[in-house]
């Protein structure tokens, strides 16, 4: 039996059209882009990522890291974290057991000024706007203290958006990132691959209906596609303050942590197009009456704004105690 060809995810965004390179050249001729910006955009269109030196003060990066120590002391009930499972309120976190590799904090921009500054950073936002070709909106932030060891994936497989493929993400190094700390791993050029069909017509992974069998079959299918095209993974070993911006469809994940003493402090922002993304939601595992847990969806339409740049508020911000 021949293999399924996969699904083409039609974002409708200019960067995904076959004439993207010509459009960049035309905008360069019209003086709308500098030579450097045109070169970087062309690289992004071809490779699916670009690396930037952020012009943020070091105190912002260090302040965010110090702020996370404070969050661990205060454990706010209206902030979420996840450790090897669903997101839960920080007030339920157990530092001794859970402050370790693979944990993350969701939307710390609601509690830390430095995280908000990066969430709405002007340089990142300008690049994301250039890539999307329209007004972006930051939709979520994540803080990682250690390597995530996250499975290789493409964001549209797991993160819903209003329009297919309307997403860009930025990964910011809050300290020097070495190869042994479980650095971000990505596959240049993989954004142009078709999508595996987990079920007929479905490119998203749905954990309520799918499991290890679908994950394994998808991994094999994608591995073969990458090998056929000679695509190979690369580690983002970064300097403090460097950021990698990736295309929605770029394969990425967390490399294995080989130095158990290492940290990998990093901050991630996901963006979509403001026009197509009206509401942000977050599902938490909340305690139920029987001593178990039930999923509760928190949603918000509230935006935070700085200098005309917008992002969604943490949906849990200001929530009453559970
Ligand atoms: O930081 C990582 O290890 C992975 C982050 C990631 O996959 C994401 O935020 O989409």
CATH number for 165: 2.60.120.620
| 255 domain residue, yes or no | yes
Q: How many domains does the chain have?
A: 1
Instruction: Give the domain range for residue 150.
Output: 34-189+234-312
Instruction: Please give the pLDDT value at position 208.
Output: 84
The string of pLDDT tens digits covering residues 14-55 is 999 999 999 999 999 999 999 999 999 999 999 999 999 999
> How many CB atoms neighbour CB 289 within 10 A?
6
Q: What is the C-alpha radius of gyration for the chain, rounded to an integer number of angstroms?
A: 20
How much is the average pLDDT of 270-284? 97
| 253 domain residue, yes or no | yes
Q: Could you tell me the pLDDT band of residue 1, with boundaries at 50, 70 and 90?
A: low
How much is the average pLDDT of 71-76? 98
Q: What are phi and psi of 293, to 5 degrees?
A: -135, 155
Q: Which of 254, 263, 267 to mutate to test the pocket of ligand 1 (most atoms within 8 A of CB)?
A: 254
Percent share of the chain, pLDDT over 70:
99
Percent share of the chain, pLDDT over 90:
91
| 194 domain residue, yes or no | no
**SS percent in the chain: helix, strand, coil, step 5:** 30, 25, 45
Predicted confidence (pLDDT) at residue 4 exceeds the cutoff of 80: no
Distance from the alpha carbon of residue 250 to the mean position of ligand 1, in angstroms: 11
The string of pLDDT tens digits covering residues 127-174 is 999 999 999 999 999 999 999 999 999 999 999 899 999 999 999 999
Atom of ligand 1 nearest to the CA of 148: 3
Distance from the alpha carbon of residue 170 to the mean position of ligand 1, in angstroms: 9
| 21 domain residue, yes or no | no
Cα 262 to Cα 70, 96, 177, 195, 198, distances in angstroms: 20, 17, 10, 34, 35
Lowest mean pLDDT among 131-145, 153-167, 238-252, 259-273: 153-167
Instruction: Please give the pLDDT value at position 5.
Output: 80
Residue nearest atom 2 in ligand 1 by C-alpha distance: 254
| 226 domain residue, yes or no | no
- What residue ranges line ligand 1, CB within 6 angstroms? 142, 144, 148, 150, 155, 169, 171, 184, 252-254, 266, 268
Instruction: Please give the pLDDT value at position 222.
Output: 94
| 88 domain residue, yes or no | yes
| 318 domain residue, yes or no | no
Structure-block tokens of residue 241:
């303050």
Distance from the alpha carbon of residue 155 to the mean position of ligand 1, in angstroms: 9
Q: If phi over 0 gives left and psi between -120 and 50 gives alpha, with beta otherwise, what is residue 145?
A: alpha
Distance from the alpha carbon of residue 120 to the mean position of ligand 1, in angstroms: 19
Residue nearest atom 4 in ligand 1 by C-alpha distance: 253
pTM: 0.96
| 8 domain residue, yes or no | no
Rounding to the nearest 10 degrees, give the CA dihedral for residues 16, 119, 145, 279. Answer: -70
| CA 177 – CA 66 distance, rounded (Å) | 18
Instruction: Please give the pLDDT value at position 157.
Output: 92
Of 157, 150, 151, 152, which is closest to residue 205 (Cα–Cα)? 157
């Amino acid at each position: 039996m021949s293999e399924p060809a996969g699904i083409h995810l039609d974002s409708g965004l200019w960067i995904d059209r076959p004439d993207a390179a010509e459009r960049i050249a035309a905008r360069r001729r019209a003086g709308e882009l500098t030579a450097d910006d045109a070169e970087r955009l062309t690289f992004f269109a071809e490779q699916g990522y670009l690396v930037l030196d952020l012009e943020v003060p070091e105190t912002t990066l260090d302040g965010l890291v110090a702020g996370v120590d404070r969050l661990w002391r205060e454990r706010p009930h209206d902030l979420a974290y996840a450790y090897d499972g669903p997101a839960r309120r920080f007030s339920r976190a157990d530092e001794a057991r859970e402050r370790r590799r693979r944990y993350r904090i969701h939307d710390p921009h609601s509690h830390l000024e430095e995280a908000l500054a990066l969430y709405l950073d002007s340089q990142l936002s300008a690049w994301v706007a250039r890539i999307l070709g329209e007004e972006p909106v930051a939709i979520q932030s994540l803080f990682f203290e250690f390597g995530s060891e996250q499975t290789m994936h493409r964001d549209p497989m797991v993160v819903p958006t209003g329009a297919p493929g309307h997403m860009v993400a930025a990964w910011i190094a809050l300290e020097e990132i070495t190869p042994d700390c479980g650095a971000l791993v990505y596959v240049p050029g993989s954004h142009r691959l078709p999508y595996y069909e987990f079920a007929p017509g479905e490119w998203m992974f749905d954990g309520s209906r799918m499991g290890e069998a679908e994950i394994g079959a998808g991994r094999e299918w994608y591995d073969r596609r990458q090998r056929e095209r000679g695509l190979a993974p690369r580690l983002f070993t970064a300097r403090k303050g460097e950021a990698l911006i990736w295309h929605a469809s770029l394969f990425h994940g967390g490399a294995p942590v080989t130095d158990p003493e290492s940290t990998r402090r990093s901050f991630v922002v996901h963006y979509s197009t403001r026009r197509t993304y009206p509401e942000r939601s977050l599902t938490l595992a909340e305690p139920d009456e029987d001593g178990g847990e039930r999923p509760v969806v928190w949603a918000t339409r509230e935006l935070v704004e700085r200098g005309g740049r917008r992002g969604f508020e943490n949906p849990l911000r200001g929530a009453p105690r559970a």
